Structures are given as structure tokens and as C-alpha cells.
Amino acid sequence: MFDEAYTKLELAEIASILDVLNDRIDGSTFDALQTTILAIELPYYPDYRFLSIADHTTMPPLQRFVFQKNHTMEFTIIDWDYKTIQKLNEDVPISLNEENIIEYVRFYFGHVKGRYGQFIICETADHIQWKEEPSSEIKQSLNKALSPLELAEKRQDKTYVINAFMMLKDALFGVQVFVQPNGKVTMSDHEIIMEDIPVLDKTFMQ
């Protein structure tokens, strides 16, 4: 997400951040000399920055996502629970508008997992993690059915309605996403586009 806009932090800053975070992150400890931290400011979270923390020398690679309040050592660790995102939305507080709502939806579904797994936004056939490369005919057919996230309307109560296509496990479906001004996300009943898609288990079967 937003790879071109990330800033790579210097070693001294990485070390100071990990001094705090290593005591709070479950699992393996990050080594400052082996760790890369990429930072980005997101438009809907004023005065916070998003950190992607990774150590690719381990197998499997160790990675965590964290929010840091600017100029402090206050952190919110992403644990894939929607309640964590909702609390962050209240604490910041979140600032949504027509210019950043699509980015927020991409962020939300990229960092939240539900009871049955993670919903993966699919805007083209290339966003599907195929177990084997499909035929050009299948990809062409899917690309005709799929489309990028689209803001359909902003209701009088300031709820945003976004048209989306998503994967859950091995099923692709169309859905409307509803985002309230406080960042709370819900979805409408879905319309199945395709089922039993041969996808990589590690991406979609979690």
C-alpha cells in the first residue's frame, strides 16, 4: 500500500522505536540491525504515522504494522481486530472526506480479519493470488466483471457507500461497503461472481 510514499527510517530511530515496541509485540524480538521500518502519513489519521516493521532475515519473515503518534513513543499495534481500528478512529479522531475515503477502505480491509478470514479487495484479475496462472480468456472475463473501488454516494447522515469486489477464501463477490463518519465499516449482502477459484492457501485461506 502506497509503496512510493513510504520513508525508510534511519538506524538510530529504528533502535529507539524497537526499544519500546519489543516489549509489547508478541512473538519474536526485532533486531534493530536486521530490521527495516517504513513510515507513511495517512490522510485520514492526522498527527499519526503508519509504520511497516519487517525483518526479512528470519524464516518466515517477521512483520508487524503499527501506528505512532507524531513526536511521541505512543503506539497502536495492529492485531487484525476491527475493534483496534475503531478505537484508533476514536482516539485520533479519524478525518474522512471524499478525497481519502477510498484509501481508507483499502487500508481497513488490508489490516482487519473477520471470523471467516480476511476480505481481499480485487480491482482487477491480477489482484487474485492464483495457485496457477489462469488462461487469458478467464482473466479477460474477470477484468470485464471487476472494477476499481468506487464511491457510489454520500448519504445525508454522511455515510459513504462504496462499490467493491472482494475475495473471501476462494469466492469472488460484489458488495457495497458502508463507512460511517467515525470510520465504522459494514457491508451489504453480497453477489457471488465466481466460486471455487484456485488460489494460494497462504493468502486467502487464513
Query: Tens digit of pLDDT for each residue in 169-205?
Result: 888 999 999 999 999 999 997 888 888 877 755 444 3
Give 61-102 pLDDT, tens digit per residue: 899 999 999 999 999 999 999 999 999 999 999 999 999 999
pLDDT at position 4, please? 58
Length of the chain: 206
Question: For 191, phi and psi rounded to 5 degrees?
Answer: -115, 115
Cell numbers of 94, please?
Answer: 479519524
Q: Does residue 12 sit in helix, strand or coil? A: helix
Query: Average pLDDT in the 24-53 region?
Result: 93
Contact 163, 149 (CB under 8 A): yes
Q: Assess whether pLDDT exceeds 90 at residue 154.
A: yes
pLDDT at position 42, please? 94
**SS3 per residue for 43-68:** CCCCCEEEEEEEECCCCCCEEEEEEE
Distance CA 56, CA 35 (A): 8
- The residue extents of the domains of the chain are 3-78, 115-204
